Amino acid sequence: MFVLRAENLSKSYQMGEIEVKALLNASFEIEEGEFVVILGPSGSGKSTLLNIIGGMDQPSSGRFYMMEEEITEYDERKLTEYRRNKVGFVFQFYNIMANLTAEENVELATEISEDPLPIDEILEAVGLADRKDHFPAQMSGGEQQRVSIARAVAKNPAILLCDEPTGALDFNTGIAILSLLRKVNKEMGKTILVITHNSDIAYMADRVIKMRSGQITKNYINENPMAVE
Ligand code: ADP
Ligand code: ADP
């Protein structure tokens, strides 16, 4: 079953006289349970695409479906509902609340979701059960990213959207975070989409979608994705 389907998504920005085509006729499908990497250099249109999938922005043309629903015909109210329930976000710089503990950060996300998962189980699964009362300033970057993954998963979304999730971490911590995302994918069956400019991450994906100058240039399945431990 397809979780997500994009049909000819395009997005243009008008910069004075010049029209910038940030995204041009992007079409692809993501299956339930897939771990997908969208790979492309800076300026290739990854964020533009992610903003559309995440319900933060609408395309100039084209259609986008999540679980059979057409998101591109949603109004603002339905888009807000969509962001709260259907999508979990993981960012490069974690974006967790500094004045809340790990547990409270996760709790806050579950409060706006219609179908949240038990917070204790999620904190256990990401390896933070014994750090739940700690504040972000008391945690390492890798631990803060675990909090942000817990927060995203606890909403029980249809898909996790991860924007350069290892971009602020050293190599080994980055591997540990990728390994955690893989665990969430395999053990909890979550569909995961990672956008990155780091080609190493593509080796571990089930599917790789390559972008350049706003266009998808390749879309292939990795028969033997690299294991991350
Ligand atoms: P990436 O995430 O791969 O770095 P982006 O999606 O951010 O790429 O950008 C794709 C192109 O669209 C770039 O040329 C960028 O300058 C342009 N762009 C993105 N957002 C805007 C905007 N709000 N206004 C004008 N141009 C934009
Ligand atoms: P609220 O209005 O309750 O603050 P929203 O409905 O705007 O929340 O957002 C719901 C979810 O979407 C949140 O988990 C938030 O992290 C995410 N989100 C909202 N806006 C953005 C954005 N511009 N970029 C990334 N994520 C966003």
At 33-65, the pLDDT tens digits run 999 999 999 999 999 999 999 999 999 999 999
> From the CB of 89, is ligand 2 less than 6 Å away?
yes
Q: In this predicted structure, what is the pLDDT of residue 187?
A: 94
Ligand 1 centre and the CA of 13: distance in Å? 8
Q: Is 56 in the pocket of ligand 2 (CB under 6 A)?
A: yes
The ligand minimizing its distance to the Cα of 24 is: 1
Distance of alpha carbon 184 from the chain centroid = 12
Q: Whose CA is nearest to atom 11 of ligand 1?
A: 22
pTM: 0.90
Exposure string (b/e) for 66-90, b if CB count within 10 Å is 16 or more? Answer: beeeebbebeeeebeebbbbbbbbb
**CA 148/CA 15 separation, integer angstroms:** 34
Q: Which two tokens stand for residue 114?
A: 């219609």
Predicted local confidence at residue 228, as pLDDT? 85
Report percent pLDDT > 90 for the chain: 97
71-123 pLDDT, tens digit each: 999 999 999 999 999 999 999 999 999 999 999 999 999 998 999 999 999 99
Relative to the CA of 84, which ligand 2 atom is closest?
10
- What pLDDT, on a 0 to 100 scale, did the predictor assign at position 99? 98
ipTM over 0.95: no
| Pairing, β 215-221 against β 61-66 | unpaired
Per-residue model confidence (pLDDT) at position 229 = 75
Cα distance between residue 184 and residue 156, in whole Å? 11
